[in-house]
């Protein structure tokens, strides 16, 4: 699948220590997206993904919900450049 775009999200709220990065990884894998998720020092989770716009929108919707134990208070979304990444990594 040829990536058609890339997005980056900064997710705030109670999103560390609740499995958020692995939730993002599972959803991205289900959608066939490549990218990564990592915790930031300020308590947010940063997610980067690339793929077809429709699937990126599906991932964005999932990030707004988060896993059961998370409490998502905000999601900042921005366009990004396509990187040479295979699969979805938790950093």
Helix (H) or strand (E) holding 40: none
Known catalytic membership, residue 27: no
C-alpha distances (whole Å) from 59 to each of 6, 41, 42 are: 12, 23, 23
Q: Which of 14, 21, 27, 73 is catalytic?
A: 21
Q: Which of 8, 14, 38, 39 is catalytic?
A: 39
Distance, in Å, from the CA atom of 45 to the CA atom of 37, rounded to the nearest integer, reads 7
Known catalytic membership, residue 39: yes
Could you list the active site residues?
21, 39
């Amino acid at each position: 699948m040829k990536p058609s775009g890339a997005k980056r999200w900064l997710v705030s709220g109670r999103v560390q220590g609740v499995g958020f990065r692995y939730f993002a990884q599972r959803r991205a894998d289900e959608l066939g997206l490549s990218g990564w998720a990592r915790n930031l020092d300020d308590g947010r989770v940063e997610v980067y993904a690339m793929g077809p716009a429709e699937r990126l929108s599906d991932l964005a919707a999932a990030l707004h919900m988060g896993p059961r134990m998370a409490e998502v208070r905000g999601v900042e979304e921005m366009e990004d450049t396509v990187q040479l990444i295979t699969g979805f990594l938790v950093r």
